[in-house]
A and B are shown apart, each in its own frame.
Chain A
Amino acid sequence: MATQANPYLIITDGVATATFADGAGGNTNWGVRAQTWAPNVAPLRRSPLGGRGPYADVVEELTINVRDSGATAAAAMANLNTLSLLLDQAERWARGEFVNAVLVKYVPQGSTIAANATPYQAVVLGRASEDMGAMLGLPPRWDQLGMIKELWDVKVRFVRTGQWLLGDQQASTVPSLTSGVVTDVAFASGLGGATPHAPLAMTLGTWTTTNVATLNSGFLMCTGNTPGSENGIKVSTAPFSGLGTGGYTNINESANNAISGANTARYTPTGTAFSRCRVGPINWTAAHRLGIFATVRNNDATKSYQIRAGYSKDTAAVSAVRTGTVVVDGSSTSPQAIFIGILTIPNAQYGDVFIEIAASATGSTFDIDQIVVVCLDDDTSCVLGHDGMNMSGTFGAGVTVFLDIQNQILTRPEPFVGVHQQSVTDGIALTYRGDARFRTGLTEINVLWLTTSGAKWRFSQGGGSLQTVSVTARQFNAYLTPV
């Protein structure tokens, strides 16, 4: 890419634009005064709340001269009005009003990766604080505007989102994802490597509402990675290595699309105390904080099961760390995806994950198809829980749809999670839990969709066969300082 010859700096809502620097070195009607501005650098936020991402919003202050090519004072005031309206609109957008987002776009002189057509972008969020401070500071020489037809030293002060997002989102598609299986999505060479925790969007699909009429609840998991390095999501499937003791056996569930293609683990309680089943080893070298998920089935509507997971280096789990306990009640006797808990392992160790199950009463069984372990060490790992949807009832039969997770980082204050009808702009929102603004830090992501369909352990068609979908990840290159 060519070297940027001159700085480029504008704020715009896509309709109105205030150009502080045009990238060509020319005079503009909102010209920024020399040596009055440098982009602030966003720090990590202290808050663990998702916010608009892991980085803090920053305040930008610059000094500009407002004019209109020296033509008339009225035109200069009109340009000032354009700028003030844009800043006002930015704050309205931030508090949720349905107006276009106002973006600040920037290309530093000398950049070789950004250009006027593909600038760095951030969202203007309005004034710097909730106080009475103005976003525009007009100088005392305002009274001379009518004579000199320009207004010098106008102070512009606003808050923007912390990351600079370069150009458009880059998409990468893998055509064949099935639920319960980790799928790697790599981005094109040159992208991602320099992106600190860049915003990520994702679509999964398509399928027809004839083939899959109902979307069950589930979890969509995504972890940042580098091709060739260890995966951020790992799956254990039956037969688990500790079976054969404590009431655990295998049953063949191939007809219900068991992840192993054959067996799932079955727990038949002989009492109401916890009984342990060794799942398998953890052989991560870097992950420390692990989210444990599973697909399970309670085979009795009148009984409840408590389930927890643990980690131990000894097979007897004498020295073990355990998650909290979750309850799977009898409200559903079909396969369902559940969150079990979070384990933290102190060092890169090799040990075993186990699960422990306690029944409220004997006389029934509880099945486990797969255990999913997700590393959750930083914000490049995201798990989104979603509710179900009667897609056939919502869209009608025979409609092609896809699952859509849009960060809407440059367009709306909040993300969108929903089901889209293909070729139709607006989708139907889906209830979700979890930070829907996915992020990636490296050049590859690992994706796993954990969901079920009716009596099937995995996302399946009404006819019984597995439904394959493609996964498309869209990623901005994001920067804290322009390059």
Chain B
Amino acid sequence: MIHYAIYDSPGGQLLADYTHKARGVRISTNSRGYADCAAQIPLSLPEAFIWYDRPGLPHVELTDNGLTVWEGRLEDPAIIGAGLGAAALGYSRALQDIPYTALWSLTMVDDFRPVLATEIATAVPDRFVFDTQNRVYIAQKKNEVFGTTGAAKQAYIAYLAPDQSSRTIIGVSFDFTIVTPAANWRAGFIAQNSDFSTNSIPWLVNSGGAGTVTGSINTTFTGVPIVSFFMDLNAANATYLGETGANFLRITNLRLVTSTTNRINTTLTANRNAGASVTATVGSTARMYVGQRLQIVGGGGSESVLVEGVTNATQFVATFVNNYVIGDAVLAHVVYADEIAKDIVAGVAAVNSTQLSSNATLIQSPGVDLLDEVYEDQYGADVLDYLASRGDTSLRRWEWAVWDDRRLTFQPHGSGRTWYVDITDLEVIRTLENLANSVYATYQDPTGRILRSATNADSFSVSKYGLTRRQVAPASTTLVAQARIHRDTILADQKDPLPQARIAFDAVYDATGGKHLLAEVRAGDIFVIRNLPPTLSSSIDRIRTFRLTRTDYDLDTGVLTVEPEAPLPTLEAQLATTIQEPS
């Protein structure tokens, strides 16, 4: 039978065993894990006030012969007439305790801005022109004096990571074009400390004379909060007599990252001459995807290419401008959602170690490269909601929750257990409210302008329902390939209408027919109705099988209420089932 007890902390000392006197006990789960547990515990007023005033955050746990039925923190103790009203909330709440500020990846350039002379003494931004229109651009102004006589006269255009970001910039990739009027003009990329002092110079080009230099860079460096592109004349003072814009530094396809965990760092294992849509052979194509931009760096030049296809574990298809040989580097920065989830967990656990386990075993990777992830003062729960919505390359939505031992799970949608029920009552409405059989994604160019992907439609759904219902899928990315994944995930999920349903049943069974305790049913689990007429069309599949978004178990009466993904719109109808379980 189920045991109800309060401990001083998770895994801590038993404070009270209220199994014998807890009344009105209701436990619920939702898409974030254990949701809430309400109980009334008859106590004398002094004893009830002990809970009200007690320092610390007690842990409420319900177990049944080793099985954790529910656990959470006694967040809202209340003095009620008969004693203590013990309202506990699940440990997903821990992800709403600490705001999260971090930069993970950035491809948009609209936040770059010129560095002022008050920030770097040698900066003379008024002698250059800058712009961030789909590029980071620096050009000398005509008739301005440049050089080192007296003092250096330099241009810096910088990106500053969010203030107090928990992560620093450690990687960059970009394509560059440098057009110089003479020798000793320099262009570079500088990693800077928070006071704009130079930490390192990962990339520097010193011109040997007038001309144009192009290439592609992918490099890593010691973490810094500020990065800048710069330009100067490293020689005695001279007046620039060229036209403004005739010479410049232009950066495109920029990406800044704060993680190199999943960075692609492989080499060509066969020579690769220039060609359109040709196959390149590398050590590994792990983490490559169609539409991804790779940096190819060899002794004879460098460029970035877009992956047109991933043939197998060692070959991909792209268009090459230059010739490359065995051993030339194939690089790309990649950031996955599981890295962010793990970092959020680590951050919360570092501050509130009893509230969330730092163990990341149950955090899986969706394998989708995230290009523009900057969070400022957002709670971890909201960030995880967003990350889960991004889906994966199999076009599945994802979910997160905090279950046993305060461990975060981050996994594909529908990873819960499957229960089989025989319904005794059914009410179902087929509504087109949530139907989306045609979807396009919105994404951004590097300046933040909204772009729209091609529309993808499910022709079968359009034909079947006699209607095209189009939906937009907003994606925070500058890469159309990633926007398409988000678009197609939405389409796969919503091409069939989600029925609103209310069902009643008597018991839950597993796949082999074994009857289980109602307390084992959780949000995120799958219900399969076994006794619907088998002759119905496949359109009933979303009635026959549906996912639970909430469970509510009344331990006083043994009644379990479950809520399907789309409950009927009235309060009464949301009570998907009521059944009684003997002791």
Chain A interfacial positions (CB closer than 8 Å to B) = 44-52, 54, 94-97, 130, 219, 288-289, 291, 293, 304, 306, 311, 319-321, 324-327, 329, 339, 341-347, 360, 374, 376, 379, 381-383, 385, 387, 413-415, 429-437
Contact of A327 among B405, B517, B518, B557 (CB under 8 A): B405
- The complex places the Cα of A293 from the Cα of B64 at a distance, in Å, of 13
Check B67 against A291 for contact (C-beta < 8 Å): yes
Check B582 against A435 for contact (C-beta < 8 Å): no
- The complex places the Cα of A44 from the Cα of B582 at a distance, in Å, of 8
A65 to chain B, nearest CB (A): 33
8 Å CB interface, B524-583 against A? 555-558, 580-583
Task: Give the chain B neighbours of A94 by CB distance below 8 A.
Answer: 21, 42
Contact with A along B513-529 (1 / 0, CB 8 A): 11111111000000000
Task: Give the chain B neighbours of A319 by CB distance below 8 A.
Answer: 511-512
Check A306 against B67 for contact (C-beta < 8 Å): no
Nearest-CB residue, chain B, relative to A97: B44
Check B515 against A379 for contact (C-beta < 8 Å): no
Task: Give the chain B neighbours of A437 by CB distance below 8 A.
Answer: 19-20
Check A46 against B557 for contact (C-beta < 8 Å): yes
Contact with A along B33-44 (1 / 0, CB 8 A): 000000000111
Task: Give the chain B neighbours of A347 by CB distance below 8 A.
Answer: 513
A6 to chain B, nearest CB (A): 34
8 Å CB interface, B1-40 against A? 1-5, 7, 11-14, 16-22, 25
Task: Give the chain A neighbours of B516 by CB distance below 8 A.
Answer: 289, 342, 344
Nearest-CB residue, chain A, relative to B403: A324
Nearest-CB residue, chain B, relative to A306: B361
Task: Give the chain B neighbours of A429 by CB distance below 8 A.
Answer: 14
Check B520 against A327 for contact (C-beta < 8 Å): no
Check A304 against B22 for contact (C-beta < 8 Å): no
Whether, in the assembled complex, B404 has its beta carbon less than 8 Å from a beta carbon of chain A, the answer is yes
Chain B interfacial positions (CB closer than 8 Å to A) = 1-5, 7, 11-14, 16-22, 25, 42-44, 47, 61, 63-67, 82-83, 357, 359, 361-362, 404-405, 407, 417, 509-520, 555-558, 580-583
Task: Give the chain B neighbours of A45 by CB distance below 8 A.
Answer: 583
Known contacts A50-B4, A327-B405, A346-B514; is-contact A414 B20 (Cβ 8 Å): yes
Check A344 against B3 for contact (C-beta < 8 Å): no
Task: Give the chain A neighbours of B20 by CB distance below 8 A.
Answer: 50-52, 413-414, 437
B472 to chain A, nearest CB (A): 37
Check A435 against B19 for contact (C-beta < 8 Å): yes
- The complex places the Cα of A299 from the Cα of B405 at a distance, in Å, of 20
B488 to chain A, nearest CB (A): 27
Could you list some 16 contacts between A and B, CB below 8 A?
A46-B583, A48-B64, A52-B20, A54-B583, A95-B42, A96-B44, A130-B82, A327-B362, A327-B407, A339-B66, A342-B66, A344-B516, A415-B17, A431-B14, A434-B63, A435-B19
* Additional A-B contact list (18), CB under 8 Å, known A47-B558, A49-B25, A413-B20: A47-B556, A48-B2, A49-B555, A291-B65, A326-B404, A327-B359, A327-B361, A329-B357, A339-B67, A341-B67, A342-B66, A342-B517, A344-B515, A347-B513, A360-B361, A385-B63, A413-B21, A433-B5
Task: Give the chain B neighbours of A434 by CB distance below 8 A.
Answer: 3, 63-66
* Interface of chain A: mostly helix, strand, loop or mixed: loop
Contact of A432 among B1, B14, B417, B513 (CB under 8 A): B14
Please give me the 3 A-B residue pairs with the lowest Cβ-Cβ distance, nearest first: A344-B514, A346-B513, A339-B66
- The complex places the Cα of A344 from the Cα of B555 at a distance, in Å, of 21
Task: Give the chain A neighbours of B21 by CB distance below 8 A.
Answer: 94-96, 413
A340 to chain B, nearest CB (A): 9
Known contacts A374-B65, A435-B1; is-contact A48 B519 (Cβ 8 Å): yes
Task: Give the chain A neighbours of B65 by CB distance below 8 A.
Answer: 291, 342, 374, 376, 381-383, 434-435
Contact of A46 among B5, B14, B359, B556 (CB under 8 A): B556
Which residue, B16, B19, B82, has most C-beta atoms of chain A within 10 A? B19
- The complex places the Cα of A376 from the Cα of B66 at a distance, in Å, of 11
Which residue, B67, B404, B555, B558, has most C-beta atoms of chain A within 10 A? B67
- The complex places the Cα of A421 from the Cα of B22 at a distance, in Å, of 31
Check A51 against B19 for contact (C-beta < 8 Å): yes
Nearest-CB residue, chain A, relative to B25: A49
Check A346 against B515 for contact (C-beta < 8 Å): yes
B85 to chain A, nearest CB (A): 14
Task: Give the chain A neighbours of B13 by CB distance below 8 A.
Answer: 431
- The complex places the Cα of A327 from the Cα of B83 at a distance, in Å, of 37
Check B17 against A44 for contact (C-beta < 8 Å): no
Known contacts A431-B12, A432-B14; is-contact A291 B19 (Cβ 8 Å): no
Nearest-CB residue, chain B, relative to A343: B514
Contact of B583 among A44, A324, A436 (CB under 8 A): A44
B25 to chain A, nearest CB (A): 6
- The complex places the Cα of A84 from the Cα of B42 at a distance, in Å, of 21
- The complex places the Cα of A288 from the Cα of B17 at a distance, in Å, of 29
Nearest-CB residue, chain A, relative to B12: A431
Contact of A49 among B4, B43, B404, B514 (CB under 8 A): B4
- The complex places the Cα of A302 from the Cα of B83 at a distance, in Å, of 45
Check B555 against A47 for contact (C-beta < 8 Å): yes
Nearest-CB residue, chain B, relative to A416: B17
Nearest-CB residue, chain A, relative to B407: A327
B194 to chain A, nearest CB (A): 33
